[in-house]
Amino acid sequence: MTSNPSKVSAGLSFAVLCAVSLLLWFGPLLNTLSLALGDEKYTHVLLILPLTAVLIFLQWNWHTVEFRPSIWSGGLLTFALLLAGLARWEKLAEVPDIQLSVSMLGLVSWWVGSFALCFGVRTSRTLLLPLAFLLWMVPIPAIVLNPLIGGLRQGSVVAAELLFSLARTPVSRQGLVLTIPGVELEVAPECSSIRSSLVLIVTAVALAQIVLRSSWRKLLVVAVAIPLSVAKNGLRIFTIGWLGTRVDEGFLDGRLHHHGGVVFFAIALAGIFSLLWLLRRGDSSGKAKKGPRDEIVLG
């Protein structure tokens, strides 16, 4: 049984190391939070720290805590400092988004290394997924994000084309433009649904960890969330196009177009909840782990 003084000592040590991280990475952390507040492509970053705290709280067990340093934790702290130095390299400063990603990867490495140092490798292994979840704090650089957005746009167009075909609406596709009787629908970059897609995937990962025990079931939920994020945007394009040509042209540039993303996100999230409910019934515990657990541009 872990003594109370040891618990206090571990907690204080971790708090001190976190305070040190704020001194070393205050600028990158502030820039990341500003980016998350100002750019919808990074909104999901705001969810990561609260969700990580919840996941750790639900799985925490003092019996796994070992109050001794390890090579693994020391290696992570060293790696974090190396990344902090690399981020100050002049050539890396020429690509600010990559520089920020490197800096934040260093910060996350410092947090995980500090946690392992203060609470032990055994505890860190038990909480591996919540700690790895912190990697979502690292902003995705443009060199990776732009192809993702392009893939989402292309997938959304294909999904919408399929829905129009199922609805027996004549449709043709050329690149990222769908043509149906009376209107052309183009999926602009801002309509890729990258924000809601990333939020959906992050939410699915957290919910799967909370609700399920089986690893393959957790992976299945995440695997379903990825195509579901594309399908929901295809449904959005189809709904706007169908209503705009069959009911009222105002739907083509109305509130559903500009502010209706939350509706389709809710539909996709309902699908995730339904899948979790089905998988939970067959899970070994049926509970979460606890302890060592004319042309219209759609834009």
Mean local confidence (pLDDT), 215-229: 92
Mean local confidence (pLDDT), 219-242: 91
Backbone angles phi, psi at 257, to 5 degrees: -65, -50
Query: Which pLDDT does position 288 carry in this prediction?
Result: 41
Mean pLDDT (the chain) is 85
Query: Which pLDDT does position 294 carry in this prediction?
Result: 47
Instruction: Identify the band that residue 3 occupies on the pLDDT scale cut at 50, 70 and 90.
Output: very low
Q: What is the pLDDT of residues 118-165, one digit of tens each?
A: 888 888 888 888 999 999 999 999 999 999 999 998 999 999 999 999
Quick one: CA torsion of 175, 181, 182, 187, rounded to 10 degrees?
Answer: -30
Residue that the structure tokens 């925490």 belong to: 60
Mean local confidence (pLDDT), 154-180: 90
DSSP the chain: ---HHHHHHHHHHHHHHHHHHHHHHHHHHHHHHHHHHH-GGGTTHHHHHHHHHHHHHHH--GGG---S--HHHHHHHHHHHHHHHHTT-TTGGGSHHHHHHHHHHHHHHHHHHHHHHHH-HHHHHHTHHHHHHGGGGSPPPHHHHHHHHHHHHHHHHHHHHHHHHHTT---EEETTEEEETTEEEEE-GGGS-HHHHHHHHHHHHHHHHHH---HHHHHHHHHHHHHHHHHHHHHHHHHHHHHHHHT-GGGGGSHHHHHTHHHHHHHHHHHHHHHHHHHHHHSSSSS-------EEEE-
Query: Which pLDDT does position 64 carry in this prediction?
Result: 62
Query: Which pLDDT does position 63 carry in this prediction?
Result: 66
More confident residue, 16 or 253: 16
Choice among 98-107, 154-163, 244-253 with the minimum mean pLDDT: 244-253
CA distances from 215 to 132, 223, 293 (A): 15, 12, 11
- Ordered by start, the domain boundaries in the chain are 4-138, 144-298
264 has a pLDDT exceeding 60: yes
Q: In 3D, which of 190, 17, 192, 35 has the Cα closest to residue 99?
A: 35
More confident residue, 265 or 65: 265
pTM, rounded to two decimals: 0.83
CA-CA distance, 148 to 175, in Å (whole number)?
16
Q: In 3D, which of 195, 164, 155 has the Cα closest to residue 46?
A: 195
